[in-house]
Amino acid sequence: MAIADLSPHPTALVTAHGGGTAPAMRFGRRPALAGAGLEALFAWVDDIAELTQPARIHWVDGTRGENEALLRQQVDEGKLIKLNPEWRPGSYLARSHPSDVARTEARTFIASEREEDAGPTNNWAAPAQIRATITPLFEGSMRGRTMYVVPFSMGAVGGPLSHIGVQITDSAYAVTSIGIMTRVGTSVIEQIAAGKPWVKTVHSVGAPLVDGEQDVAWPCNDEKYIVHFPDTLEVWSFGSGYGGNAILAKKCFALRIASVIGRNEGWLAEHMLLIRVISPEGRSFHLAAAFPSACGKTNLAMLRPTIPGWRVETLGDDIAWLRPGDDGRLWAINPEAGFFGVAPGTGETTNVAAVETLWGNTIFTNVALRPDGDVWWEGLTEDVPAELTDWEGNPWTPESGRPAAHPNSRFTVSAGQCPQIAPDWETPEGVPLDGILFGGRRATNVPLVVEATDWSHGVFLGSTISSERTAAAEGTVGELRRDPFAMLPFCGYNMADYFGHWLKVGQKLRFDRAPRIFQVNWFRKGDDGRFLWPGFGDNARVIDWIIRRIEGRVPAVDSPIGRLPRTEDLNLDGIDVSDDDLRELFAIDRDLWLQETALTEEFYETFEGRVPAALHAELAALRFRLTRSA
């Protein structure tokens, strides 16, 4: 129902900031359902309204008409710019405040009861103490604004691998983004009414409007917090309107909170893409892959192979939930409904499938605006427009000496628009995994591809994922940014315990049905600083070898670090990779690897004895094999 068509009526009185009372007004229809679950939901909504003191409440029903009304409202308020429908139908541009352009990781907390349960890789806060800190910030934070109640499902509503939640927010931008990224609607309310557990998430931009104060295009607050309460399954976010901080269903729920739920229930919430690879013979294989930022994750999710006969269907680009099945296999779903991708670097030569996905019905944030009403960002096209309006609304030319689009500018679009989305990508049961890939951006040491010898060794590989901080030409092995399983910012509990949980999940799988684990590295460089591997669509040649290993059609070469391909088993037809480059792509420098084992031991020691003994054993075995290979 469109907001403009609704008449407000008073509900319970809420306490105004500083004393007195102010009536909260309800827009939208409170669900006309009953049940113990809804009683708890209604009581929670009333509690948040009493705390934040909104001018009105809107229960989001997820309908198309409601979404269109919210978009029109934001255009009328100057918060969105409607793009030229001839070039980008149904699409909009948002410009954030320059101080609110990325995840606020320094102010992101895990508020577990015990500090050791959060672990050294998370910012920990005592629950009572952090509540005492953030509750005053939320007091009256929604004054003059609409409080939206957004019921959402991660995964198909009612699916066996799905979970649900409710987000309260005072940002219409967040509401329309959540509508793309999740399944929103009354069907979720029905799940709550039936007693299904749900996660509570609260978000405020922290910019109350007092006494008719004029709103701004991007309200936010200099004070920012994102606090996760894993013991009570809650998320509270204050001060930021940026997607990663405001779409709480995404990283906050789908990874940090879901990783805790998965630990408790025996499954895994992972920062992984999900694809179906179809061989020239028509056989299908399902792969999940965990890569840190800037390591080719989205490109692999929408891979277009350069070798004839192979096809890739996209199932998900960012998050996968993995659950052991009764059949001994590991099943996976993409719990999201959309893509929230980085725009710069996404272009016609790097990821044509992503570009084709953005034909319309997209919310862009912090990209540049063309004079014809379309959008542009660095890397979209080889030709740079002669003039643009940059992401801050200022005139821009190629001589301006600054990026036209913010480096973290984003697009939010339905996954269903991807031209190579799998036809069954929303199947509630998910797909059975044949392989799991881990990868980082390494200029040295790590080969193009290596196969783990078994599940325990694969978990060891995942725990050691890292990328060089420095320019690859420097090749400094010691300066590594650790990102185990690409989950360092997203694991909701002690990461050493998370390693142990991976080992436990492996024990639930049949040894002959568990997915095979591989480590890949598209970014190894030669001494001259150039990439040794062409990457992009040619990464399908590595996938081809991985699939043939899964099928048992080609042998592998044992090495101290794992199983490597024979070069003659790689399909290199049509690309120019010299014999010297091939040797370097798979070269193992014993001394450098021994240095790396020392760094891994140092990393493990930060967990103060909680790293599983099995991983210490893998590290010791690696050192032994390296020493023996001398």
Q: Which residue has the tokens 């391909």?
A: 565
Beta partners for residue 482, in sequence order: 466
Amino acid letter, residue 513: R
**Encoded tokens for 542:** 């590595």
Cβ(325)–Cβ(331) below 8 Å: yes
Cβ(321)–Cβ(301) below 8 Å: no
Strands annotated E in 143-224 = 146-154, 163-169, 183-184, 198-204
Could you give the CA distance from residue 102 to residue 80 in angstroms, rounded to a whole number? 19
Task: Give whole-number Cα distances, 341 to 13, 181, 322, in Å.
Answer: 41, 11, 22
Give me the active site residues, please: 295
Handedness of CA 9, 10, 12, 14 (dihedral sign): positive
Could you give the CA distance from residue 227 to residue 243 in angstroms, rounded to a whole number? 16
Question: What DSSP character marks residue 486?
Answer: G
Contacts of 147 (CB under 8 A, 6+ apart): 24, 48, 49, 52, 54, 56, 57, 58, 168, 169, 170
Structural Rg of the chain based on CA atoms:
25
Of 290, 599, 250, nearest to 444 by C-alpha is: 599
Could you give the CA distance from residue 405 to residue 322 in angstroms, rounded to a whole number? 35
Q: Regarding beta strands 146-154 and 183-184, do their DSSP bridges make them parallel or antiparallel, or are they unpaired?
A: antiparallel
Q: Please count the other Cβ atoms lying within 10 Å of the Cβ belonging to residue 406.
A: 24
Cβ(344)–Cβ(384) below 8 Å: no
**Encoded tokens for 240:** 């930021």
Residue 23, φ and ψ in degrees, nearest 5: -75, 130
